[in-house]
């Protein structure tokens, strides 16, 4: 026997937001924010959704009901217009969902939180954010989780998360945290309002963002802005985390992701794409001199930027000259495939890149003023066309102490692969491999720059720091390398030759050949292949325990 379920409606409201329907567990009573006194029936989900949105009717649903509970088909139909009954076990404080043209913010069961709904995603989502970030409630009274279900949510204004714990918690707190997550890239937040960001974070808020995508149009600003305009603190974020976040915009003025004055944060998988400008900017904009921001880690960052000057896939910089740097950032993996610069650093210190994969920009890595003591531990650099893989500006000599190790450079054979114009007593150092053996390397006016290059190209500049190494040969021929100094023969049974190579590769370097075997003679010699002081292929050692010393002045070989 089919039973008739009679559902009563009552008018509910909360400030300027219409409250959603509520359900009492274990009961068949549903209350809707509608008015009217007519009775109708429904048989499908579409019927209820359509009627539920028009507001003036009383509904009855039909269907078999053998267990005394609401009929499942009717219940399923109601879900489009009321909170999901799964909210009884809902772990989020708010679930945001778009049904038709209406956005709902559904509170968790027995949370005591109000519900919100409306046609503007900004109004509804911001109401949920504001409700969970109220100030003045004491430790643990704020924060929580907002889950945004799959769908496209168009904003009329920028969402804003304002740190709610004031100025007193730094160092000890935060005592609460706001989590906003989605259903992966199926959850998309869109900002097309001119002059507006997608999401703004300020006042040292502690937030977790994960599993969604933000897009902004060309007239809008950044997808995510961590701002410095907090009332209590200039820090934007503190002990925060992003993961599985993709930001896409098309602005020549604002980057896809713009993070300023953040500290003690952790970032997982981040993608920043901007076809019109910079991909991602990390910036110290502190007005407090000598205050360093950063101290954060990045697991995987992938960027794309405009190839027009001066845009970069990733910029790490200061907005306050040399007095407030971005400091102690660690990147496990940074990758970019587009930009005039792949990586641009200015006022960035003590940052570490464990792996970089920078392909196709005009300049792969550019170090500008006060970019010092940064480490690049491995990676692949592929410059585009006629441009440099690693470029270090003169900048008054303040670009110093940067280390490049385990880097493979791929540039055109006639293009300078490394250009280091800095001039400081704490030099940059290079231990790299070149794909082209003829690519020039330009190290200007450095008497002590450690430089080790496999696949050596033509090196220009003056002298370089040479390590006092010892290469032991056992009765073998040999070609000198850049990391050689002392070449010693521990055994010698026949004449052996040492090939010198082009002198312009070794400007300022000194070499020593020694017969340690004591077997050298007029018939068992150590000879050279090359021209030394005008002599072609000279015999270097023809007596037991003999020694031969020579050096390059950058153009020719000479004896000492």
Under the banding of pLDDT at 50, 70 and 90, the label for residue 442 is confident
Residue 214 in domain: yes
- Are 92 and 71 part of one and the same domain? no
DSSP 340-390: SEEEEEESEES-EES-EEEES-SEEEEE-TT-BS-EE-SEEEE--TT--SE
Contact 232, 167 (CB under 8 A): yes
Question: What is the rounded CA–CA span in Å between residue 189 and residue 187?
Answer: 7
44 and 172 housed in the same domain: no
Binning pLDDT at 50, 70 and 90, where does residue 458 land? low
With a cut of 90, say whether residue 429 has pLDDT above it: no
For the chain, the distance separating the N- and C-terminal CA atoms, rounded to the nearest angstrom, is 112
Provide the CB-side half-sphere exposure for 190 (13 A, CA): 11
Q: What confidence score (pLDDT) does residue 90 get?
A: 72
Of residues 62 and 506, more confidence is placed in: 506
Biggest CA–CA distance in the chain, Å, is 120
Residues 96, 242, single domain; the answer is yes
86-90, 258-262, 328-332: the lowest-pLDDT one: 86-90
For CA atoms 50, 55, 61, 67, the dihedral sign is positive
Lowest mean pLDDT among 274-283, 454-463, 533-542: 454-463
pLDDT of the residue at 538: 96
User: With 50 as the cut, is the pLDDT of residue 55 above it?
Assistant: no
Contact 537, 557 (CB under 8 A): no
Q: What is the CATH number of the domain that holds 538?
A: 2.60.120
Handedness of CA 406, 412, 414, 419 (dihedral sign): negative
Rounded distance, CA 198 to CA 465, Å? 51
Of the candidate ranges 165-169, 227-231, 471-475, 514-518, the one whose mean pLDDT is the lowest: 165-169
pLDDT band of 387, cuts 50, 70, 90: confident
Same structural domain, 206 and 174: yes
23 and 98, same domain (yes or no): no
244 in the same domain as 160:
yes
Judging by DSSP bridges, how do beta strands 102-107 and 116-118 pair with one another? Answer: antiparallel
User: How confident is the model at residue 460, as a pLDDT?
Assistant: 53
Same domain flag for 126 and 230: yes
Which is more confidently placed, 507 or 74? 507
Cα 394 to Cα 445: distance, rounded to the nearest angstrom? 11
Paired sense of beta strands 341-346 and 363-367, if any: parallel
- Structural domain containing residue 241: 86-255
Are both 102 and 160 inside the same structural domain? yes
Give 336: exposed, middle or buried? Use CB within 10 Å, 0-12, 13-18, 19+.
buried
| Same domain as 129, residue 16 | no
Tally of structural domains, the chain = 3
Q: In what order do the strands lie in the sheet with 510-515?
A: 470-474, 486-491, 510-515, 547-552, 557-559, 531-532, 535-536
Residue 137: alpha-carbon gap to chain centroid: 35
CA dist 429 and 448 (Å) reads 9
The pLDDT value recorded for residue 11 is: 31
Task: Say if 417 falls within a structural domain.
Answer: no
Q: Does residue 355 lie within any of the structural domains?
A: no
Q: How far apart are CA 552 and CA 511, in angstroms?
A: 9
Domain final position from 78, 113, 134? 78
Alpha carbon distance 230, 162 (integer Å)? 7
* Mean pLDDT on 1-22: 35
Q: What is the mean pLDDT of the chain?
A: 81
Last residue of a domain, one of 224, 255, 286: 255
The pLDDT-based confidence of 444 (bands split at 50, 70, 90) is low
Q: Verify that 104 and 249 share a domain, yes or no.
A: yes
Residue 44 lies in a domain: yes
What is the average pLDDT across 432-439? 76
Of 363 and 43, more confident? 363
One domain, residues 69 and 170: no
For the stretch 92-116, pLDDT in tens is 999 999 999 999 999 998 888 999 9
Q: Pick from 62, 78, 94: which residue ends a domain?
A: 78
Q: Are residues 99 and 230 in the same domain?
A: yes
What confidence tier does 191 reach under pLDDT thresholds 50, 70, 90?
very high
Highest mean pLDDT among 286-295, 302-311, 421-430, 481-490: 302-311
Q: Answer yes or no: is 237 within a domain.
A: yes
Question: Residues 244, 147, 142, 258: is their CA dihedral positive or negative?
Answer: positive
Three-class SS state of 538: coil
Q: Is residue 196 part of a domain?
A: yes
Residues 6+ apart with CB under 8 A from 313: 272, 278, 279, 280, 303, 304, 305, 336, 337, 338, 339, 341, 342, 343, 358, 361
Residue 273 phi/psi, 5-degree rounding, is: -120, 130
Dist CA 400 CA 368 (whole Å): 10
**Is 170 a domain residue?**
yes
Q: How confident is the model at residue 455 (pLDDT cuts 50, 70, 90)?
A: low
Residue 123 tokens read as 């109004």
Would you say residue 101 lies in a domain? yes
Confidence of residue 435 (pLDDT cuts 50, 70, 90): confident
């Amino acid at each position: 026997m089919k039973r008739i379920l009679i559902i009563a409606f009552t008018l509910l409201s909360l400030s300027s937001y219409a409250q959603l329907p509520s359900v009492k567990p274990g009961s068949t009573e549903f209350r809707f924010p509608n008015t009217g006194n007519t009775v109708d029936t429904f048989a499908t989900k579409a019927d209820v959704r359509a009627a539920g949105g028009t507001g003036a009717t009383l509904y009855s649903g039909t269907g078999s009901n053998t267990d005394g509970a609401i009929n499942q088909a009717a219940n399923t139909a109601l879900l489009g217009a009321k909170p999901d009954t799964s909210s009884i076990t809902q772990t989020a404080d708010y679930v945001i969902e778009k049904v038709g043209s209406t956005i709902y913010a559904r509170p968790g069961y027995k949370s005591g939180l109000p519900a919100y709904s409306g046609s503007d995603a900004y109004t509804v989502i911001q109401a949920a954010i504001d409700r969970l970030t109220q100030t003045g409630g004491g430790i643990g009274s704020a924060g929580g989780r907002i889950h945004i279900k799959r769908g496209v949510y168009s904003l009329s204004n920028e969402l804003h998360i304002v740190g709610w714990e004031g100025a007193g918690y730094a160092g000890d707190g935060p005592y609460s945290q706001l989590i906003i997550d989605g259903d992966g890239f199926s959850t998309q937040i869109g900002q097309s309002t001119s002059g507006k960001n997608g999401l703004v974070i300020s006042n040292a808020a502690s937030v977790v963002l994960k599993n969604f995508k933000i897009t902004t149009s060309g007239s809008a600003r950044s997808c995510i802005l961590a701002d410095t305009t907090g009332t209590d603190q200039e820090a934007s974020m503190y002990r925060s985390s992003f993961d599985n976040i993709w930001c896409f915009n098309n602005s020549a003025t604002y980057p896809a992701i713009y993070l300023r004055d953040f500290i003690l944060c952790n970032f997982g998988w981040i993608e920043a794409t901007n076809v019109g400008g910079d991909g991602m900017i990390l910036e110290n904009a502190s007005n407090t001199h000598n205050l360093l921001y950063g101290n954060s880690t990045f697991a995987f960052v992938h960027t794309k930027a405009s190839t027009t000057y001066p845009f970069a896939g990733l910029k790490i910089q200061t907005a306050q000259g040399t007095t407030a740097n971005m400091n102690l950032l660690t990147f496990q993996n940074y990758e970019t495939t587009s930009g005039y610069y792949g990586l641009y650093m200015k006022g960035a210190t003590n940052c570490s890149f464990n792996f970089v994969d920078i392909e196709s920009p005009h300049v792969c890595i550019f170090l500008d003023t006060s970019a010092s003591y940064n480490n690049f531990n491995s990676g692949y650099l592929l410059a585009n066309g006629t441009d440099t893989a690693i470029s270090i500006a003169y900048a008054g000599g303040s670009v110093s102490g940067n280390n490049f190790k385990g880097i493979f450079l791929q540039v055109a054979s006639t293009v300078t692969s490394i250009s280091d114009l800095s001039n400081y007593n704490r030099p940059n150092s290079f231990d790299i491999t070149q794909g082209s053996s003829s690519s020039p390397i330009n190290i200007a006016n450095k008497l002590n720059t450690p430089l080790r290059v496999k696949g050596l190209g033509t090196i220009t500049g003056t002298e370089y720091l040479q390590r006092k190494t010892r290469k032991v040969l056992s009765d073998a021929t040999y070609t000198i390398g850049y990391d050689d100094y002392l070449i010693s023969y521990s055994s010698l049974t026949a004449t052996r030759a040492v090939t010198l190579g082009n002198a312009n590769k070794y400007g300022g370097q000194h070499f020593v050949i020694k017969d340690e075997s004591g077997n050298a003679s007029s018939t068992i010699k150590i000879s050279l292949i090359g021209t030394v002081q005008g002599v072609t292929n000279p015999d270097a050692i023809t007596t037991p325990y003999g020694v031969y010393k020579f050096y390059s002045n950058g153009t020719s070989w000479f004896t000492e």
